[in-house]
Amino acid sequence: MIKRTLKLTMIFILVFNILPNYSDAATFPGDVSARGSILIEQESGRVLFEKQAHTPMRIASITKIMTAILAIESGQLDEWVTVSKNAEGTEGSSLYLVAGEKIKLRDLVYGLMLRSGNDSAVAIAEHVGGSLEGFVTMMNQKREELGMINSAFANPHGLDDHEEHYSTAYDMAILTKYALELDEYREIASTKSYTSKNKAGSVRSWHNKNRLLTQLYKHSTGGKTGYTKRAKRTLVSTANKDEMDLIAVTINAPSDWNDHISLFEWGFNTFKHSTLVKQGVIEVEDEFYQEKITAEYSFEYPLAEEEVELIDRKVVLYRPPNDDKWEREDPPYPIGTIQLELGEELIGVVPLKYIGEDEEAPPFWKKWLDHLFMVIGVKNSG
């Protein structure tokens, strides 16, 4: 329910041309070693903590989250990939691929995410994009689509071979939030070890480099590590506790494992999902509308205890007619909205439907929603 609830809320924010600027009134009491960092709640995208989160920096192998997304979305995971000489010779962390061997694209993505194979990244790029250059074009098209406005991609692995290859903690959180909507990505990123067999029958086994997942943090659900001499240590990780999902990103962080654990523990201990609107008939003061309007869905939002009393709920409704026009004809839709603010920041808009005196609240408004998706070009997957 939370995922559906918040996706739809963000759609209505777009429809009404309202851009949210999420408040981070609850401040992380400690510090992190990272030069750039961020902690967000996954479903709402609310920023809980940030430090130079919009400053472009080199990102090393967390680049591979984008590479994995494009490979998964290509629909080619079960295809055999022929490894090129170019891929075989890629420097740095490697799966030790050999030119001419054939290996499933799916296995390359596992090797990319668990072992951080740079040769795997090149093999994926050449297969999915037709060439390295073609794949880089796809990467930049995707980051524009996702609103990663302070990012640029020049390769599929994050090596320091281009100056125009960078991102921000915030943009990488956006990217990860999107990735987590893909079932295949969640499965791969949360895998601790994997065994691959190429077409000739040779077997390789990889163990995930993400020590949060494999050793250090029991609530970890996945992520991606990174390191180059120029970028230093970079890390994206995810965690789940008490039905709340958090995403943490650190860039240039000497103590990244500790940074992430500290941020997650603070986030889980400080914020809880609060139901701000319940689906169903809404009570209003206007006599005409009493027992006649319904909220189309519930709205939940992560709040610190001291923030609950700061929530302002505003009900905005059409002025009702002076006759029985709405009983004879279809009333406007939506008949109004509930606008939710935290302090002075808009955090959500819930549509209201007029149901008349004798109608029952209808089931979820799928037809209207499908039409909305078609009009604004938003897919159900995200």
Element spanning 170, H or E: helix 169-179
Q: Are 36 and 57 a contacting pair, CB within 8 Å? A: yes
Nearest 5 degrees, angle CA 53-CA 59-CA 60?
160
How far is 275 from 300, CA to CA, in rounded Å? 4
Q: Which residues contact 339 (CB under 8 A, 6 or more apart)?
A: 313, 314, 315, 316, 346, 348, 349
Q: How far is CA 25 from the centre of its chain?
A: 22
Structure tokens at 122: 């090149």
The length of the chain in residues reads 382
What CA–CA distance (Å, rounded) separates 274 from 288?
30
Dig out the tokens for 227 from the structure: 């390191």
Active site residues: 61, 64, 116
Amino acid at 187: E
Q: List % helix, strand, coil for the chain (3-state, nearest 5).
A: 35, 25, 40
| E runs forming strands in 147-243 | 193-197, 203-207, 220-228, 232-241
Which ranges constitute the DSSP H helices of 16-164?
64-73, 85-88, 105-110, 118-129, 132-145
> Minimal CA–CA distance to 167: which of 64, 245, 239?
64
DSSP state of 155: S
